[in-house]
């Protein structure tokens, strides 16, 4: 009888370089995915989108920002700083 074994891949090639134009927030998401051994396909499944759609994102879509923030633990203002502003203390 053959014994079940799990093959661990070693020397896995690194992710191909990301294309230019990704926002800092999206780069944080990709970094989180890498650090947590997750993929864009995994994230796509979590948010109900196709892998191709998620791969095409240059920035986190505003409608998915709360959900992606909850999944990754990255604060919304880091995912999309362009949607947040600081109030001035000037009168």
How confident is the model at residue 8, as a pLDDT? 46
Does residue 91 fall inside a structural domain?
Answer: no
Does residue 4 fall inside a structural domain?
Answer: no
74 Cβ neighbours under 8 A, 6+ residues apart:
25, 28, 29, 32, 68
Does residue 35 fall inside a structural domain?
Answer: yes
Q: Supply the CATH number for residue 69's domain.
A: 1.10.260.40
From first to last of its 91 residues, the chain has per-residue pLDDT tens of 555 554 444 555 555 556 677 889 999 999 999 999 999 999 999 999 999 999 999 999 999 999 999 999 999 999 999 888 766 555 5
- Residue 31: give the domain boundaries: 24-81
How confident is the model at residue 34, as a pLDDT? 92
Phi-psi region of 49 (alpha: psi -120 to 50; beta: other; left: phi over 0): beta
Work out how many domains the chain is built from and give that number: 1
Per-position b or e across 2-19, b if 16+ CB within 10 A of its CB? eeeeeeeeeeeeeeeeee
How confident is the model at residue 90, as a pLDDT? 59
The model's pTM = 0.72
- Residues 79 and 66: their CA atoms lie apart, in Å, by 9
Does residue 11 fall inside a structural domain?
Answer: no
How confident is the model at residue 21, as a pLDDT? 77
């Amino acid at each position: 009888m053959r014994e079940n074994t799990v093959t661990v891949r070693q020397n896995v090639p690194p992710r191909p370089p990301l294309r230019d134009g990704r926002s800092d927030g999206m780069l944080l998401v990709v970094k989180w995915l890498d650090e947590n051994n997750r993929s864009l396909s995994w994230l796509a499944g979590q948010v109900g989108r196709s892998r191709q759609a998620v791969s095409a994102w240059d920035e986190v879509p505003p409608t998915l920002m709360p959900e992606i923030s909850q999944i990754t633990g990255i604060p919304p203002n880091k995912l999309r700083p362009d949607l947040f502003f600081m109030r001035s203390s000037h009168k």
